[in-house]
Structure 1
Amino acid sequence: MPLLLSQLIEAFRWMGALAVVGLHATNLFLNQADIMSAPHAAPVYLWWFLTGFESGHQAVVGFFVLSGYLVGGAVLSRMREPKPFLKDYYLHRFTRVYVVLIPTLLLTLLLDFFGRRLFLSSEIYSGAMFEGHFTSSLLFASLLNLQGIYFQFFGTNGPLWSLACEFWYYITFPLLLIFFAKNYSMQFRTVGFILGLLLFIFLLAPESWFGFGFILWGMGAFATLAPRALLPSRFFSLMLLVSVLILIRLLVRGSAVEAHPLISRGADLLAAGTFVNLLLAFRDGPNEGFQILKSDWHRICADFSFSLYAVHMPLLIFMRAASDQVFGAGWVLQLAEFQNYVLAMSVIGLTILSAFLFSRVSEARTAQLRRRLREIVT
């Protein structure tokens, strides 16, 4: 992979995770109901713009596209190699997911357990959002990555629905295309394809994001086969993506989406397409320029972005319950003032720090766990 493309991907990974954290922190800690009816300082409007629903949602769309580009693209490449690859591929995918998922579910269990018992003044855990979510059956379903598809999410960790979708894309994608892998026998390919098709139909049956997400993921995967970007200029490709995201943030919300629900799907496809074009433009371009992408901070932050996405919600809920206990349940619900923004920024900072520490015992050990499993398997 070209160095500059790798650096672009690292930058997107941490900025996308931060966008999702910002969205959820704002929803939990800031009441901006008067954003359009009362004057505010410029930073307040900027905060509102950057942390809106579509900002976080389009970050998730980008994660799907990027996952398809990196993982699905690698599958397409390895299918053309003259040797079997599925065992090594699935070992990589399982370790990548479960080295984070299992500790995440344990942390969610602990935070929810203590939060529900320590912060009795808060109603956040007993609200409708999490009613019935603290069960062992949902914990087991999440271990199987079925949350958001066949089951509700476990505890307070709603964002894990996207991980479930991606996990099953990892499983089914190579099986659905296994006939193109000539290094396997026809019998193996036939059985693999049937298994992949049955799994895909099974996962597609309930109403969820699995099907549409697979389209976005597939866009990223098959983009790796494209000979060139439609818009080859890296600068103009970046400006196009930014412009599309700004328009989506301003126009795809509220009454417009309620009146025309398909607008949201169209916006997702448009954003995904412009992001794919940007990836291809950086893939084919020179490694010069874009000095802002060459900072080591992008790699450092990207290295725990998966952990940040995975654990941020139970951390935020725990801190929201704590703030209700300390300041009173109604304090966070008041129209946001300076002190509310200070609290929100502090909470985001603590969440990032906690995710980094969490990653040291989870995400950072991916390669180590992968080596051990490879020794066991071989």
Structure 2
Amino acid sequence: MLSIKIARVRFLQQTNLRTDYQHSVAISLLRGLAALQVAAAHVRAQFYPGLSTIADPSAGYQALAFFTGFAHQAVVIFFLLSGWLVGGSLMNKLNEPHAMLSYAIDRITRLWIVLAPAFVASLLIGVAIGALSPPGGGDGIPEEYTLATFVGNLFGLQDLAVPRYGGNFALWSLTYETWYYVLFPLAVLMFARQGGWAKASAAVAVTVIAWHLNAAILLYFTLWLLGAGCSRIQVDASPMAKWTLAGVFVLVATWFRLKGSNDILVEESYLQDLLYSLLFLALLCSLQSKVGPADRLVLRLGRIGSFFAEFSFSLYVIHVPLIFLVRHINKSQLGIERLDPASLSDFGLYTSIVVLIVLLAWLFHLPFEAQTYRVRRRLKEWMLPRAQPQNIA
């Protein structure tokens, strides 16, 4: 135990995944907000001209560009929360029977229940917008729509061996995430399990995988691991210390939004994202306290967060194909190719597009992502008949 004047740091035996704690409320809310931020940023980028290309942008458009410009930070949040939830959950269950097989079922169902139907939807949208010919049309299939690309994207090989399926540029981050799902249990086997052959096999597998990944993926794995590690840390801090930490975090995030690297995660953006991550995780660790029955605002935020978190992955995966479809309809049916940054009515159209995409993503998740735990439970009953099915976020 480490004590300082305004905070006390404690190391937990188990990752606290209970939903009636402040940090769980924050996690649910941030998962939804991060997906919304990415979708709003991409809608703006696809429909509006870039801010730097406008000679004298209005104050309103500058505000819109600023507040929808945190997609880079949102993806970092995704990775940190993934490490906290997925890594923390696996560490909690290491001593349970068939822990690794159960983990594999959890991860595969989490990804494929959403990705496979999203890729089918992308294929249909591609036909609708003329990106490829319908079956029997006579033209060849573009590489980004081939079966090999479909399967490669299911296994996280986009940008490594195949293009992103259907031109869905948001899929780059799933390459990172998929291989973190693979690397983490192998790293755990190297250090947490007895048996020389198991340790050696895991080490060889990690080495082979790392050899085929790029430097950025490996660098950002350390942030994912930070999320997993910090899930075992509780910081008992005063309210003033929490608000101060939150204020510093917001200031740093704003500074990096204005002055830092804001494209995909690359080596050049790692140090800024490391600092950003440490501040965020310190804040999250300080929220590991139970929500009281009188905390009505926190309880209300928890309900809102849970609603959006339930389909955040669907929104992330499907929003780009939906943007392509809406953009095609606007251009072919309405003659609208670009929105006017100075037009209030065009801002209303932009807002309507974002709301429509969020609504369609919610509808899309109902037959797929919303059924994840049901499918997962049945698979475990079949493959692990003696084990109690466990859910991992």
Shorter chain as denominator, the TM-score bin is 0.7 to 0.9
Alignment of 1:50-199 (within 5 A): 50-52=67-69, 55-79=70-94, 81=95, 83-116=97-130, 132-182=143-193, 185-199=195-209
Residue 242 of structure 2 corresponds to residue 234 of structure 1: yes
RMSD: 2.8
* Contact 1:175 1:193 survives alignment (8 Å): yes
Residue 41 of structure 2 corresponds to residue 27 of structure 1: no
Alignment of 1:1-378 (within 5 A): 1=17, 3-31=21-49, 33=51, 37-38=55-56, 40-41=58-59, 43-52=60-69, 55-79=70-94, 81=95, 83-116=97-130, 132-182=143-193, 185-202=195-212, 204=213, 207=214, 209-226=216-233, 228=235, 233-252=241-260, 264-283=269-288, 285-288=289-292, 291-295=296-300, 296-328=303-335, 331-332=337-338, 334-378=340-384
Report deviation, 1:287: 2.8
Q: Which amino acid aligns with 2:90?
A: V
Q: Which amino acid aligns with 2:67?
A: L
Cα distance change of structure 1 residues 187 and 98 upon mapping to structure 2, 3 Å threshold = same
| Cα separation, 2, equivalents of 1:201 and 1:117 | 35
Cα distance change of structure 1 residues 253 and 219 upon mapping to structure 2, 3 Å threshold = closer
Q: Which amino acid aligns with 1:167?
A: T
* Contact 1:35 1:45 survives alignment (8 Å): no
Give 1:123's aligned residue.
none
- SS of the residue corresponding to residue 148 of structure 1 reads coil
Following TM superposition, the consecutive aligned residue runs of length 4 or more in structure 1 with deviations greater than 4 angstroms are: 34-37, 229-232, 288-291, 333-336
Report deviation, 1:69: 1.1
* Contact 1:149 1:161 survives alignment (8 Å): no
| Cα separation, 2, equivalents of 1:265 and 1:290 | 37
| Cα separation, 2, equivalents of 1:118 and 1:153 | 15
Cα distance change of structure 1 residues 217 and 49 upon mapping to structure 2, 3 Å threshold = same
State the TM-score, normalizing by the size of structure 2.
0.81
Give 1:122's aligned residue.
none
* Contact 1:173 1:196 survives alignment (8 Å): no
| Cα separation, 2, equivalents of 1:229 and 1:250 | 32
| Cα separation, 2, equivalents of 1:60 and 1:363 | 20
Report deviation, 1:195: 2.4
- SS of the residue corresponding to residue 194 of structure 1 reads helix
Report deviation, 1:264: 2.7
Q: Which amino acid aligns with 1:147?
A: Q
* Contact 1:10 1:298 survives alignment (8 Å): yes
- SS of the residue corresponding to residue 165 of structure 2 reads coil
Q: Bigger shift: 368-377 or 207-216?
A: 207-216
- SS of the residue corresponding to residue 167 of structure 2 reads coil
Q: Which amino acid aligns with 1:138?
A: T
For 1:46-82, what per-residue CA distance to the aligned partner results, in whole angstroms no more than 9, with x for missing partners? 2121112xx0011001101111111112233334x36
Unaligned segments of structure 1, at least 5 residues? 120-130
| Cα separation, 1, equivalents of 2:89 and 2:161 | 28
- SS of the residue corresponding to residue 26 of structure 2 reads helix
Give 2:4's aligned residue.
none
| Cα separation, 1, equivalents of 2:162 and 2:215 | 10
Report deviation, 1:290: 6.7
- SS of the residue corresponding to residue 145 of structure 2 reads coil
Q: Which amino acid aligns with 2:345?
A: Q
* Contact 1:231 1:277 survives alignment (8 Å): no
What is the aligned length?
Answer: 352
| Cα separation, 2, equivalents of 1:39 and 1:87 | 54
* Contact 2:51 2:57 survives alignment (8 Å): no
Report deviation, 1:151: 2.4
